Chains A and B, each alone.
Chain A
């Protein structure tokens, strides 16, 4: 028996050492390589045997690790759009995936059209989510290279009407409308903030903005009602 134990330990130690060495010496498998064979999550659904949510959760864990690894190294997120398309096809209600995926694609990934497509699919799959509508508005508001205030305002307004939307959504919508030139709509939205907000400072801010808009309309100088907003950009330092 002692001989058997000794042989088992010796062979086990050798196998352990070999596995440890080969993990460092051999090329690592490409993350998500297997997902590349699936054109969409729709074809992956039958393979998960009625557990798409769990499969989406496991894909989420790997997607977060993938993002973290590349964020620390080369800032290339070539697989990210595909992974989040599959993940959200498996679990269309996974709102955090739309938010994280869209912002990662838009900001560090530099792929705003893909980010927008992902977020739009989130809104289609979750039409009553005020949270997603608000995040979509923010995505447009901080679009690298130039804010899309018109779309941002649309989304903020939608968020203010849907359940789960933050109380500040109306204020955000008013701000975006005002700075995109829709002064009349902005005025109405600020009036809504004035009438409904329980925060004294918010009501004072709403009154101020309404005053600015009245002045801008009366003097026909739209620029009086607009703020100077900077152009959003993304500075990514590898390894930070």
Chain B
């Protein structure tokens, strides 16, 4: 049994989950809502459509990670179904990577579907040239969700679903505020400033995956930015999954 098998099963479970269906429906509902609000936007309907569309992908994806991802491992531990899996010649890290890959793939599918719907709507409004910027923004949001999923899987190896969701949400908030943490650190002297800067560096730098400002004006980002964001996401995911594997290996399932 390989990570691919675990990933495929996790993907199938996620896709069949009613939460995911609800999320996709909510995403389409937000896109429809933008068209209802468009007449009130005094000529800024396109901007409103793109901003709300991209934000809904990010927030709805986060919701899936917190509802599904945070309990990915801990639920199997509670139900004792993990014993069946780990009794086979399946290294625990392979199991964890498979779980992460499966849910991440499901999230990529959702992000791609909603991103395509957004582009189709924007094209219907007479602006087909926004394909590049929307595609890049959705790609970066997919990377962000993949990273947060890795964090959720790590916490899920350690704790209960509720606590895992809370810890994951906390890391998400920290990741959005790491630039502000660095700025605040500059106002304090010595050791405390270094502690704050260290915390900012440990938190995932989620602002790296944000190009919504550019997307709403149809602009694209540089290949360097995309490459850096991809590399950073892979490194951080690897780190989080390695920590999760260490935590899972230290647990004695009896």
**A contact set with B: CB distance below 8 Å:** 45-46, 49-54, 56-57, 60-61, 64-65, 91, 93-94, 96, 100
**Within 8 Å CB of B173, what residues of A?**
49
Residue of A nearest to B38 (CB): A61
- Contact check, B180 vs A46: say whether CB atoms are below 8 A apart: yes
**Within 8 Å CB of A96, what residues of B?**
42-44
- Contact check, B41 vs A60: say whether CB atoms are below 8 A apart: yes
Secondary structure of the B contact surface, majority rule: helix
Q: Is B60 an interface residue (CB 8 A)?
A: no
CA distance A46 to B184 in the complex (A): 12
* Contacts between chains A and B (CB distance < 8 A), count: 55
- Contact check, B210 vs A50: say whether CB atoms are below 8 A apart: yes
Q: Is B213 an interface residue (CB 8 A)?
A: yes
**Within 8 Å CB of A57, what residues of B?**
41, 44, 47-48, 51-52
Q: Shortest beta-carbon distance, B203 to chain A, in Å?
A: 13
- Contact check, A100 vs B47: say whether CB atoms are below 8 A apart: no
CA distance A52 to B210 in the complex (A): 11
- Contact check, B213 vs A93: say whether CB atoms are below 8 A apart: yes
**B contact set with A: CB distance below 8 Å:** 37, 40-44, 47-48, 51-52, 54-55, 58-59, 173, 176-177, 180, 206-207, 210, 212-213, 216-217
- Contact check, A61 vs B37: say whether CB atoms are below 8 A apart: yes
- Contact check, A53 vs B41: say whether CB atoms are below 8 A apart: no
**Within 8 Å CB of B42, what residues of A?**
60, 64, 96, 100
CA distance A93 to B213 in the complex (A): 8
- Contact check, A50 vs B206: say whether CB atoms are below 8 A apart: yes
- Contact check, B55 vs A51: say whether CB atoms are below 8 A apart: yes
CA distance A65 to B40 in the complex (A): 8
Which of B41, B59, B212 has a CB less than 8 Å from the CB of A64?
Answer: B41
Answer whether A54 and B51 are a contact pair too, CB < 8 Å, given A60-B44, A96-B42: yes
- Contact check, B213 vs A53: say whether CB atoms are below 8 A apart: yes
Which of B44, B51, B176 has a CB less than 8 Å from the CB of A49?
Answer: B176
- Contact check, B212 vs A51: say whether CB atoms are below 8 A apart: yes
Answer whether A50 and B213 are a contact pair too, CB < 8 Å, given A61-B41, A100-B42: no
Other than the given A46-B176, A54-B52, A60-B41, 7 more pairs (CB < 8 A) read A49-B173, A50-B58, A51-B51, A54-B51, A56-B51, A57-B47, A65-B40
Residue of B nearest to A63 (CB): B42
- Contact check, A64 vs B180: say whether CB atoms are below 8 A apart: no
CA distance A50 to B216 in the complex (A): 14
CA distance A53 to B177 in the complex (A): 16
**Within 8 Å CB of B48, what residues of A?**
57, 60-61
Q: Shortest beta-carbon distance, B27 to chain A, in Å?
A: 14
CA distance A91 to B51 in the complex (A): 11
CA distance A53 to B48 in the complex (A): 9
**Within 8 Å CB of A46, what residues of B?**
176-177, 180
Answer whether A91 and B213 are a contact pair too, CB < 8 Å, given A54-B52, A60-B44, A64-B42: yes
Residue of A nearest to B173 (CB): A49
Answer whether A50 and B207 are a contact pair too, CB < 8 Å, given A57-B51, A57-B52: yes
**Within 8 Å CB of B58, what residues of A?**
50-51
A/B interface sample: 26 pairs, CB < 8 A = A46-B176, A46-B180, A49-B176, A50-B58, A50-B176, A50-B206, A51-B212, A52-B213, A53-B51, A53-B55, A53-B212, A54-B52, A54-B54, A54-B55, A54-B212, A57-B44, A60-B42, A60-B44, A60-B48, A61-B37, A61-B41, A61-B48, A91-B213, A93-B217, A96-B42, A96-B44
Q: Shortest beta-carbon distance, A54 to chain B, in Å?
A: 4
Residue of A nearest to B49 (CB): A57
**Within 8 Å CB of A45, what residues of B?**
180
Residue of B nearest to A100 (CB): B42
For A46, A52, A53, A93, the residue with the greatest tally of chain B CB atoms inside 10 Å of its CB is A53
CA distance A57 to B58 in the complex (A): 16
Residue of A nearest to B212 (CB): A53
